[in-house]
């Protein structure tokens, strides 16, 4: 396997940390961003200095992201794979969440990847190579009750990735959106997950949905080590997928959503086709 230079956001725990450790063990070079350098440095297994570049970055600050990418370029001489991994879940009925909480989530889950992509593009275009991997979620394809804002931010990331893949293909740059199901990371802990403080009694179904999710913390079916291996495999593929689901739960939700969409489209086909000018009808 060819040794590559990776740039990974949100690396001090969970999937990002697992990926960093796996890549270093396999001999790749890794620039890893975090909000708190000490936590990242303490969490990463022993790493030779020529393989590991820990970077404290504020992903909401363009200059901070730009500086981290420049340092990566200066230290490693190229950037092959960019993983927009940092992200967190937010639950609650839309009207229960403050606009500030909603915007904060979009800032991390959507605008941080956008900033990283905008700032890394000059390097990838100059190389005429590279692979951008955006960690979305199965919620970005088939969301569930009580997580509308999280679903919205992750849907946006899949939509962005889909067209970005088309835009960048002529430049030799690949884009993959990854949609994991439930993986055993810190994702469902109160340190990562945001549940709004306001609770409106009418939304008892949402409370039950949140309780179900919180109860699977530590028992999620997905193994982050296997997810990291899957990411390394697609980065090594000459024709990587533009969208990759990870986990049997993600597969089941995605295929159920496809069936639902097909039924919905066919059921309303008459009305859908009724809106054209008479002259445009086949």
Ligand X SMILES: NC(=O)c1ccc[n+]([C@@H]2O[C@H](COP(=O)([O-])OP(=O)(O)OC[C@H]3O[C@@H](n4cnc5c(N)ncnc54)[C@H](OP(=O)(O)O)[C@@H]3O)[C@@H](O)[C@H]2O)c1
116-145 footprint of ligand X as x/- string (CB under 6 A) = -------------------x-x--------
DSSP 170-229: GGTEEEEEEEE--BSSSTTSTTT-EE-S---TT-HHHHHHHHHHHHTTTT-SB-HHHHHH
In terms of CB distance, is 133 or 135 closer to ligand X?
135
In terms of CB distance, is 43 or 171 closer to ligand X?
43
E strand map for the chain: 5-8, 29-34, 52-56, 81-84, 90-91, 130-135, 173-180, 194-195, 243-246
Q: Do residues 153 and 104 lie in contact, with contact meaning Cβ atoms separated by under 8 Å?
A: no
Least spacing, CB of residue 202 vs ligand X, in Å: 28
Our finding on whether 242 is near ligand X (CB under 6 A) is no
Point out the catalytic residue in the list 4, 12, 88, 136: 136
**Near ligand X by CB under 6 A, which window of 34-42, 63-71, 166-174, 236-244?**
34-42
Selected from 4, 6, 13, 206, the binder of ligand X by CB under 6 A is 13
Our finding on whether 15 is near ligand X (CB under 6 A) is yes
Q: Do residues 100 and 143 lie in contact, with contact meaning Cβ atoms separated by under 8 Å?
A: no
Our finding on whether 180 is near ligand X (CB under 6 A) is yes
Site residue total, ligand X (CB under 6 A): 26
49-68 footprint of ligand X as x/- string (CB under 6 A) = ----------x---------
Q: Is 79 helix (H, G, I), strand (E, B) or coil?
A: coil
Is 12 noted as a catalytic residue in this protein?
Answer: no
In terms of CB distance, is 5 or 116 closer to ligand X?
116
Question: Which residues is 244 bridged to in the sheet?
Answer: 178
Our finding on whether 11 is near ligand X (CB under 6 A) is yes
Our finding on whether 113 is near ligand X (CB under 6 A) is no
Task: Provide, for the chain, the percentages of residues in helix, strand and coil under a 3-state DSSP scheme, each rounded to the nearest 5.
Answer: 50, 15, 35
Our finding on whether 82 is near ligand X (CB under 6 A) is no
- Distances, alpha carbon 56 to alpha carbons 120, 123, 201, 247, 280, in Å: 17, 20, 41, 31, 57
Our finding on whether 245 is near ligand X (CB under 6 A) is no
Our finding on whether 115 is near ligand X (CB under 6 A) is no
Our finding on whether 220 is near ligand X (CB under 6 A) is yes
Is 4 noted as a catalytic residue in this protein?
Answer: no
Our finding on whether 213 is near ligand X (CB under 6 A) is no
Point out the catalytic residue in the list 12, 154, 161, 213: 154
In terms of CB distance, is 29 or 134 closer to ligand X?
134
Q: Count Cβ atoms below 10 Å from residue 31 Cβ, excluding itself.
A: 25
Distance separating the N- and C-terminal Cα atoms of the chain:
52
Is 277 noted as a catalytic residue in this protein?
Answer: no
Sign of CA dihedral 207, 211, 214, 216: negative
- Name the site residues for ligand X (rule: CB under 6 A): 10-16, 34-35, 40, 59, 85-88, 108, 135, 137, 180, 182-183, 185-187, 192, 220
Residues classed as catalytic: 136, 150, 154
């Amino acid at each position: 396997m060819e040794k590559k230079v990776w740039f990974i956001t949100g690396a001090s725990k969970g999937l990002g940390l697992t990926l960093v450790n796996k890549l270093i063990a396999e001999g790749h070079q890794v620039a890893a961003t975090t909000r708190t350098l000490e936590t990242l440095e303490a969490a990463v297994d022993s790493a030779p200095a020529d393989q590991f570049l820990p970077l404290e970055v504020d992903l909401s600050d363009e200059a901070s992201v730009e500086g981290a990418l420049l340092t990566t370029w200066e230290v490693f001489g190229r950037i092959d794979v960019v993983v927009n991994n940092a992200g967190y879940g937010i639950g609650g009925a839309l009207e229960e969440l403050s606009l500030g909480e909603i915007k904060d989530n979009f800032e991390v889950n959507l605008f941080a990847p956008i900033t990283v992509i905008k700032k890394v593009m000059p390097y990838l275009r100059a190389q005429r190579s590279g692979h951008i991997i955006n960690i979305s979620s199965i919620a970005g394809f088939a969301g569930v009750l009580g997580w509308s804002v999280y679903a919205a931010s992750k849907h946006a990331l899949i939509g962005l990735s889909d067209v970005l893949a088309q835009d960048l293909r002529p430049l030799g740059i690949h884009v993959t959106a990854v949609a994991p199901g439930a993986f055993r990371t810190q994702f469902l802990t109160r340190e990562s997950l945001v549940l709004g403080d306001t609770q409106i009694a009418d939304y008892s179904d949402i409370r039950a949905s949140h309780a179900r999710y919180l109860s699977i913390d530590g028992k999620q079916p997905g193994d982050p080590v296997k997810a990291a291996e899957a990411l390394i495999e697609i980065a090594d593929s000459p024709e990587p997928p533009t969208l990759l689901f990870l986990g049997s739960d993600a597969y089941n939700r995605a295929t159920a959503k496809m069936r639902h969409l097909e039924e919905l489209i066919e059921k309303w086909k008459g009305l859908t086709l009724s809106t054209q000018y008479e002259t445009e009808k086949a």
